[in-house]
């Protein structure tokens, strides 16, 4: 995995970094130091917006990667003047998560282009996570359709993982800031599942407003949970997150703070599939 600091990586010109182990594979896909990454359009288009585009690309040996590119129009690029761009923040974030023991993406290449400190474009390439899908789709298409005992058992396994991961991240002063279910992958591993954190271009350490970081991350997890889980389960998640060191009333106070955060932009109701 590439290791980058949370800062700019060139003042004017371009910076291109690649893991030596995959350099030849990526060259076969047209990815190299002299490439035009802004107009790169190979593979399967996964997501598209005016500033962000992501492709799933496959090397000749079958290895799959995700190419994620950011483009900054002048006005937006000025916002990142002498500040780290989203791709750089993501690469930094995944390294931080890996150091904390939280499963995440393995970044193998990175590029950034600036003019006098103004960000023009950037990209990152990560290895695909095999046998995985977004937690929101997994919950609706798989978990929600299970019979009662199976559904409860799987919920306990996945929620226990997430509780430990969120606590570990926050104790390590890492805050994702967009911890929605679609930014967590559920990977099949043997008879079980592992939760993998992805899509972290807003991540930070928040040295002075850590409580806000806690609330924002828990509110991100709660946006879909309010439709699929009971109030008891949501409260119990916070109770377990606070751990044995919690004081009387701590869980209720944090629950209310999360609910207040959600009320500023209430979650939309989710059409639920039929249950067995």
d(CA 12, CA 118): 8
Q: For residue 85, give the nearest of 47, 112, 125 by alpha carbon.
A: 112
Residues in contact with 160: Cβ distance below 8 Å, sequence separation at least 6, in sequence order: 240
User: Is 75's pLDDT higher than 80?
Assistant: no
Residue 1 included in any domain: no
Within this chain, do residues 259 and 136 fall inside the same structural domain, yes or no?
yes
Boundary-marking domain end, from 103, 127, 151: 127
The more confidently predicted of residues 185 and 145 is 185
Domain with residue 34: its CATH number is: 3.30.200
pLDDT of residue 76: 77
Q: For the segment 129-161, what is each residue's pLDDT rounded down to a tens digit?
A: 999 999 999 999 999 988 889 999 999 999 999
User: Is 73's pLDDT higher than 70?
Assistant: yes
State the residue range of the domain holding 141. 132-263
Q: For the segment 92-104, what is each residue's pLDDT rounded down to a tens digit?
A: 999 999 999 999 9
Residue 275 included in any domain: no
Within this chain, do residues 38 and 116 fall inside the same structural domain, yes or no?
yes
Count, residues in the chain: 276
Q: What mean pLDDT comes out for the span 220-249? A: 95
> Which long-range CB contacts under 8 A does 253-257 form with residues at least 24 apart?
254/214, 254/215, 254/218, 257/211, 257/215
pLDDT of residue 271: 83
How does the average pLDDT of the chain come out, rounded?
95
Domain with residue 178: its CATH number is: 1.10.510.10
> Which long-range CB contacts under 8 A does 106-109 form with residues at least 24 apart?
106/1, 107/1, 107/2, 108/1, 108/2, 108/18, 108/19, 108/21, 108/22, 108/26, 108/65, 109/2, 109/16, 109/17, 109/18, 109/19, 109/22, 109/26, 109/31
Answer for the pair 30, 42: CB distance below 8 angstroms, yes or no.
Answer: yes
Q: For residue 15, give the nearest of 4, 30, 26 by alpha carbon.
A: 4
pLDDT of residue 276: 60
Within this chain, do residues 38 and 119 fall inside the same structural domain, yes or no?
yes
Within this chain, do residues 142 and 68 fall inside the same structural domain, yes or no?
no
């Amino acid at each position: 995995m590439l290791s980058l600091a949370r800062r700019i990586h060139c003042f004017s010109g371009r910076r291109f970094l690649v893991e030596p182990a995959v350099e030849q594979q990526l060259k076969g896909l047209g990815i190299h130091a002299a490439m035009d990454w802004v107009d790169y359009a190979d593979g399967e288009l996964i997501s598209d917006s005016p500033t962000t585009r992501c492709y799933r690309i496959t090397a000749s040996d079958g290895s799959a990667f995700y190419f994620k590119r950011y483009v900054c129009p002048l006005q937006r690029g000025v916002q990142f003047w002498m500040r780290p761009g989203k791709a750089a923040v993501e690469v930094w974030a995944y390294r931080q998560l890996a150091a904390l023991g939280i499963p995440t993406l393995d970044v193998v290449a990175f590029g950034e282009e600036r003019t006098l400190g103004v960000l023009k474009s950037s990209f990152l390439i990560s290895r695909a996570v095999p046998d995985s899908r977004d937690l929101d789709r997994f919950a609706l298409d798989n978990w929600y359709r299970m019979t009662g005992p199976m559904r409860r058992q799987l919920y306990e396994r996945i929620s226990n993982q997430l509780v430990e991961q969120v606590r570990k991240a926050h104790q390590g002063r890492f805050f994702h800031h967009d911890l929605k279910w679609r930014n967590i992958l559920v990977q099949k591993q043997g008879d079980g599942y592992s939760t993998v954190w992805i899509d972290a271009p807003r991540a930070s350490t928040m040295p002075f407003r850590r409580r806000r970081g806690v609330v924002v991350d828990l509110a991100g997890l709660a946006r879909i949970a309010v439709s699929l889980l009971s109030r008891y389960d949501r409260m119990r998640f916070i109770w377990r997150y606070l751990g044995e060191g919690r004081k009387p009333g701590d869980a209720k106070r944090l629950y209310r703070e999360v609910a207040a955060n959600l009320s500023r932009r209430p979650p939309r109701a989710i059409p639920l599939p039929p249950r067995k």
